[in-house]
Structure formats: C-alpha cells, structure tokens
Structure 1
Amino acid sequence: MQYHVDSELVAAEDATVSVRDRGFMYGDAAFETLRAYGGRVFEWDAHAERLRRTCCALSLDHGLSDDDLRGRIRETLAANDLDDAYVKLSISRGVQPGKLAPGPVEDPTVVVYVADLPRGGRADRGSEPVWDGPATAAVVETRRIPDAALPAHAKTHNYLNGILARLELGQGGDSEAEDANGDVPDEAIVLDSDENLAEGATSNLFLVSDGVLRTPSLDGPILPGITRRVVLELAEQKGIPVEEGTYGPADLRDADEAFLTNSTWEVRPLAAVEGPDGETAELGAGPVTDRLAEAFDARVERDHYE
C-alpha cells in the first residue's frame, strides 16, 4: 500500500508525521472520511464543504484548493489500483513551536489514507455490503460534547468523545459489555447533556415510527453526516414523511424500524438496542429502511458505475 503524505506517495511503512505535528500533539487537525465508488469519491463537493467548515472553526487556513485535495485522493487511489475504497483525508497545521496557541499555517500536514472496500451499488450487480449484518447498539453513559464546548459540525482529530463511548462497549478496552448473545454491540448511541438521543459514536441515527422517518435535529450537537443528508434527500424523493426533532431513548425503544448511516456503512439496519435501563429492544429493518437502502444503492449505481 501507498499513502499520500505532504505531496508525496510513500510506502505505508514509511508514511509518518513528525511527533511535533499539532495534529499529533493536540488533536489540532481536520479530517473527512469518504467513500470511493468506481474510482470516484461519493459526494465530494459536500465533503469538501464540510472540511472547509471544520477548518474555519479551527481557524486553520491551509491554503489548499479543493482540486488540489481531490487530486491527491485520485493519485492515492490510482497508486493502489483501487476503484472502491475507504478514504481518509486529514489536514493539520503541521509542525509549530510547542505552545498551545497556534501560529499561522506555513506548512500544513496533509495525509490521504485508503483501504480496499467491496463494490457499492445494487446487490444484484454482485456487490457485497461492508457489514456482516444488521447492527446492534447500546445507549452509553458517555455524553455528546455540547456544541458550545466543541462545534458539533467540526470533524477534528480530537475523537476522544467517540472513543470513550466505544470503550463502554468493550471495543478495545477492558470492559466486558456484551449483549444477550455474548457479543459486543457494534455501535454506541450517545445522548446529549439533556438526555436526548444524539448520534452513534461514528454514525447518524434514524428511527421510523408510524411510517414517519425521524432523526435528531441539527439544532442539537449532531454531526451533519453526508450520508445522513443523502438519505433525507432520498426520503423526500420517495414521498416518505420526514421529521427532524428531539427524541429520547424511549422513542428509539418503541420505534418500528431503525438504522444507522455513515460513509462506510451507508444504510445499516439497527437490529437491537440496549437502553440505559439495561433492557434490550428488538428493532431491525422494515419497509422504509429497505426502500431507502435500495434508493441509496440505485443512486450509487447510477452516478458511479453506469
């Protein structure tokens, strides 16, 4: 494998950054997780815009154009002969004097990391999902950082909030959280400081009740996911009623269907969720989830393969 580091393609084992890089020292960096289908990045313009908003929130003026960044992604995909891939693009201020207050960005660190993924699009074209089956989740004690403390729309290298949430599930830690079958849940559902549903550690959350698609509003501390936005657009096109609002764990427990979205999982049904009371609610896919998953696959097929 080869990765793109500071304008150069380098072998994976040589892909390093300085220990004095502010992204390493302070988490002072922006990133985007993207999906390539058929050699092209899905929803590039939306990802580029969200990256700009993150950099603006950090006052990180890196001086690089969208075309430059997109070109580095293309070079990395081509160097690894990948058409369908996971892509992570990171930008930090680079190496600066070891003090908390940052200085002007003179030499930003830009890294593109890629990994192979199955073909996207319609399943009847031979594609395989990136997940083994519907997800399971648990509502955890870790709370979403308030927007006033750290802007919810910013994707920064400071991902401790999500890490702590996942550690509660036993994913990589010493805790032994398991569901009724002895399996560690796939995702941690975090609440905001008012005990309302926020999102997954790395995903946005949707539920369906009485035929209405519901998802936590961006008025709360919610990351504006790119796949989240696409799903809302598809729901409107399909005539599916949509409500963005404020919901509690009980709303998820009583839902008819639920699913999670992110760039890698796309639309992943949520089979079961353990609530804060320790009770597990069985959920799963249904007609609305299935319609949206099919519409998402059809859009990928049309825009990236046909």
Structure 2
Amino acid sequence: MSDDADRRGDDADRRYHVDGEIVPAESATVHVEDRGFVYGDAARETMRAYGGRVFRWERHADRLARSCEALSIDHGLSDADLRGRVDETLAANDLSEAVVEVSVTRGRRAGGSGRSGGSGDRFDPRVGGDPTVVVTVRPLPRGGVGSDPVFDGPATLQTVKTRKTPDRAVPADAATHARVNEVLARLELRVTGADEAMLSDPDGRVVGGADSTLFFTDGTGLKTPSLDGPVVPRVARAEVIDVAEEEGVPVEEGSYAPSEVREAEEVLLANATWGIRPVRTVDGIAVDGDGDGVAGPLTTLLSRLFDRRVEAACYGGERS
C-alpha cells in the first residue's frame, strides 16, 4: 500500500463497507429510520491499523461482541467475517495506516401502524429490521518505534461539569452510538480551549477523559480509575496496564478525586487513536509544576514500550 495513500486526508475517493458491500463514501448511507440514527441504538468499536494490521484485533472483537450482547443485537457475523470486512475496507482505500471504526446498528425500525409498528412500540428492540454493519476508515501516519505522534503535543486536560452517565443507566461496557454525554463534555472546553475533558461520576469521582482512559502517578506507581465505576474498558487501557505490569510498575485501580489528578507528578491519556498521550496541564495547572510539555520518565517509558509492542505485532519488529 502506498505511503501517499496513507497520508490522504478527506478524500472524495474514500470507500466504506456498508452491509457487505464496498461503496463510495458519498454513497455510504443508512436509512433515516435506522435505529442507530434515530435512537443511537448501535454498538461501535474504534481500532487502529498499523502496517495493514489491526492492533489487538482479538480484544477489539471481544469488546464489540460485549457491546452487542449488552444491547441484545445479533448481527450474525463471526469475528472472521468482521475482520474480513475491515481488511477489505483498508484494501479498497489502499490504506495500511488508519483509524478503523465498526458500527453495528439494530437496523431499521418497523413502519406502518397497529401493534407491530405503532408509536407505542417504537422503542421496543424486538421491533426492527436486519442489523446494519458499517466499516469506515481514515488515514493516519505510521505508528510504532520512531514514529511521529498523531496528536499535536501533550494534552491540556480540563475538569467539566458534565457527569458520566451512571453504569446503571447505560452500561459502561457497551460502546454505543449514544455519545451526547461526551459531546456535552467537549462543548465545555470551548471556553479554555483544552484538548480533553475530564469527566467524573455523579459522586464526583474521576472516571476518565471524554474519549480516553486517564492514568496518573504520584511517584508510587501507575493509577487509573477502577472499572467498578462507569469507566469505559478500552482496549488501550488494558494494553497500558499490561505494559506497566510487565515492566514491574505497580498498577492501582481505584477511586480518585479530581484534586489527586491535579496534584499528580505525571498524567497521561490513552485511546486507540493516540496510543499514549502525555498531559501538560490539568485545569490550567502545570503537571509536576514545570509545564514544559516534556513527558515525564514513566510516561516516556510506557510510550516506548507501547510502541515496541505495536512494532512487534504489526510491523514484524524491524525497528529497535
């Protein structure tokens, strides 16, 4: 696959996978009565392809399956079928370096009148059509060892008033299309221009970023909000924890106040797109008091080891 294709931005020639067919981006549509569009009744999974391979595909496939199970959506496809569609979409766009998103909706809501399609049944998940499965991609630079980050420097993190939806309302284990909560959190950033929102649960305990897992250290080890709260179990979260534990870094999963993050020696964020991203400031306060934007020693170590894992898994480990 060409390097030129890898670097393309918005491109009229982009092609997506919609219900089993590769179609031009401009034709890649779902029906206006699709429940994913109307209600956000859909599962989604975001992953990253390096060198034409999805990093930690098995973990992503398992997480998508858990999301579909939580929503009781049966798309009828095996993991191999889904991976085939991902590979076909990357190939159709001549992309080897990309962010990949897989969406599975419950399909179109039933129309007509009467008991099977009346307004009283509109939220009934048993009333609908066949699931809709969509795969989209967008290009990114090469990852792995010695690569340039996809983000523009360390992040600025801001505590927001918007609270994370309680797990009893929407299971945090289900990655869905219903993202209004995160959108509202990001809207609050317009005042300060921060890069990422730090959300808390209804009791004021930190759960993470709007679109990322949060880690920090006070010098005694790596800390991250526990999955006992409404914390998203991202694949990147599990990977960072694996990297730390393999290196002998103590990992604590607990309940933390925003003040503990503000007072931390190092703060970092992780998701499938960024990998690991250091944080420069929290609520305008420089992390560890310097504000120079240079990642701390633990963040640097974890980033290097994370990149080595990507290199070994997706590029054959040719760089050291």
With normalisation by structure 2, the TM-score equals 0.88
How far did 1:118 drift?
A: 0.5
SS of residue matched to 2:224: strand
Q: Structure 1 residue aligned with 2:185, among 143, 156, 165?
A: 165
Name the residue aligned to 2:130: 107
- Structure 2: give runs of 5+ residues left out of the alignment: 1-13, 112-121
Matched, 1:50 2:67: no
1:271 to 280, 288, 294: 280
- AA partner of residue 217 (structure 1): S
User: Residues 122-170 of structure 1, C-alpha deviation per residue, up to 9 Å, x if partnerless?
Assistant: 11xxx22100100001000000111011101110000011000001112
Contact kept? 2:44, 2:64, Cα under 8 Å:
yes
The one of 280, 284, 297 aligned to 2:285? 280
Q: How does 1:241-252 map to 2 (within 5 A)?
A: 241-252=250-261
- The answer to whether the 8 A contact 1:203-1:260 is kept is yes
What amino acid is the match of 2:189?
L
Question: For the residues of structure 1 that align with 2:238 and 2:127, how far apart are their CA atoms?
Answer: 33
SS of 1:169's partner is helix
- TM alignment of 1:71-90, pairs within 5 A: 71-90=84-103
Preserved CA contact (<8 Å) 1:121 1:300 = yes
CA RMSD of aligned residues (A): 1.2
Residue 280 of structure 1 and its aligned partner are, at CA, apart by: 2.6
Deviates more, 1:12-21 or 1:93-102: 93-102
Deviations 1:256-286 (A, max 9, x none): 0000000001000011010xxxx63434621
2:165 to 145, 154, 170: 145
Percent identity reads: 55
**Equivalent position of 1:290 in the other structure:** 300
| Contiguous gaps of at least 5 residues in structure 1 | 171-176, 179-183
Map Cα deviations across residues 108-128 of structure 1 (whole Å, 9 max, x no partner): 1111000000101011xxx22
Question: Out of 199, 203, 210, which is 1:201 matched to?
Answer: 210
Q: CA deviation at 1:207?
A: 0.3
Q: Is the 8 A contact 2:110 2:127 kept in 1?
A: no
Q: Does 1:41 align with 2:42?
A: no
Count matched residues: 288
* Equivalence for 2:315: 305
Amino acid corresponding to residue 98 of structure 2 in structure 1: A
Partner residue of 1:174? none
Q: How many angstroms apart in 1 are the aligned matches of 2:305 and 2:201?
A: 31
1:253 aligns with 2:231: no
- One-letter identity of the residue aligned with 1:289: T
**Counterpart Cα distance in 1 of 2:92 and 2:278:** 34
Partner of 2:11: none
Answer yes or no: is the 8 Å Cα contact 2:264–2:287 preserved in 1.
no
Render the CA deviation track for 1:189-235: whole Å, top value 9, x for unaligned: 00111111111000000001124100000001100010110010010
- Superposed CA deviations along residues 12-63 of structure 1, whole A, max 9, x for unmatched, are 1111110010000000000000100110111111111111111111111111
> Of 232, 235, 245, which aligns to 1:236?
245
Provide the TM-score with structure 1 as the length reference.
0.92
How many Å separate the matches in 2 of 1:109 and 1:225? 23
Residue 186 of structure 2 aligns to a residue in which SS? Answer: helix
Deviation at 1:106, TM superposition (A): 4.8
Q: Is the 8 A contact 1:207 1:257 kept in 2?
A: yes
Is the 8 Å Cα contact of residues 61 and 105 (structure 1) preserved in structure 2? no
Structure 1 match to 2:143:
120
Distance in 1 separating the partners of 2:204 and 2:67 = 26
Amino acid at match of 1:54: S
Match of 1:2 among 12, 15, 25: 15
Superposition deviation, residue 105 in structure 1: 6.3
Q: What one-letter code is carried by the residue in structure 1 that aligns with 2:314? A: H
Given that 2:99 and 2:137 are in contact with CA atoms closer than 8 Å, whether structure 1 keeps it comes out as: yes
